[in-house]
Amino acid sequence: MIDRYAIFSDFKDINQRFGLEGEEFTVPNYNASPAQQLPVIVNTSKKGISFFYWGTNKQWSNNKSISPKLLSATQDKLVQTTTLRHALDKRRCIIPVNGFYQWKQYSKRRQTPHYFHVAHEPILALPGIWEEYEDMDGKINYTFKFVEVANYANVPEFGESMPAVLPKDMERKWLDDYSSTDELLEILSSKEGVNQLSNHPVSPHITMISNNSEDLIKPQAQVDQLGNYTLFD
């Protein structure tokens, strides 16, 4: 399950990558985390960047741990759950990322974060869905969650699911109002985007939200099941 990612490209590069016409915004975030407002492209406003909360906002979470169900939804749940099926039909989005983190589990108490990215493609498009909520004061808040698919890394220690990656030629279709459910599920099942991903172990300092620097995505020594550092997978 995804609970951290990186989006640090300049706003001009993001706008150019997706053909947007938005105003200047500040992004650099090597430790994008739940409850933060982060850039998304929504199907109801395809020509600019919107800033939605990932999963929930800080006020609603009250600094408590956030349910994984708020952060991502698996592909199979999209058609099994009424609310998710409606979101897939009416409220889709693209989450621009430079890369994302996945935890590799070595034992019950030991895991190491890995950074997934595409070397020749600095900005990726990850599919998501979004929601609209009204708080106690009548203010409208917007949240998003990632869409995940079955583990495609062929490494069981990364867990059962991982974020889907949209093929570049399918990004517009993901946001298209006329795309059918079958077409959307077919896009999610494509291996074109995920087959280009590579990964390397990185610093566990991403667990602290206050840590936010380029060092977080740099390769680090990996540990084995016994906690020893190793250069090998």
Distances (CA, A) of 93 to 77, 125, 161: 17, 10, 19
Q: 52 CB contacts (<8 Å, ≥6 apart)?
A: 37, 38, 40, 42, 93, 130, 142, 143, 144
User: In this predicted structure, what is the pLDDT of residue 65?
Assistant: 74
pLDDT digits (tens, 9 = 90+) for 87-100: 999 999 999 999 99
Q: 179 CB contacts (<8 Å, ≥6 apart)?
A: 173, 187
Under the banding of pLDDT at 50, 70 and 90, the label for residue 143 is: very high
* Burial track 100-112 (b if 16+ CB lie within 10 A, e otherwise): bbbbbebeeeebb
User: In this predicted structure, what is the pLDDT of residue 146?
Assistant: 98
Q: Considering just the CA atoms, what is the radius of gyration of the chain in Å?
A: 17
CA distance linking residue 163 with residue 156, whole number of Å? 15
pLDDT at residue 15 tops 80 = yes
Q: What does pTM read for this prediction?
A: 0.92
Q: Could you give the percent of the chain with pLDDT greater than 70?
A: 92
Mean pLDDT of 162-170: 96
186 torsion bin: left (phi>0), alpha (psi -120 to 50), beta (else): alpha
Q: Could you give all domains of the chain from N- to C-terminal order, each with its CATH number?
A: 5-230 (3.90.1680.10)
Pick the closest to residue 99 from 182, 12, 193, 192 (CA basis).
193
Under the banding of pLDDT at 50, 70 and 90, the label for residue 227 is: very low
Are the beta carbons of 203 and 113 closer than 8 angstroms? yes
User: In this predicted structure, what is the pLDDT of residue 226?
Assistant: 45
pLDDT at residue 62 tops 80 = no
CA distance linking residue 105 with residue 206, whole number of Å? 16
User: In this predicted structure, what is the pLDDT of residue 221?
Assistant: 77
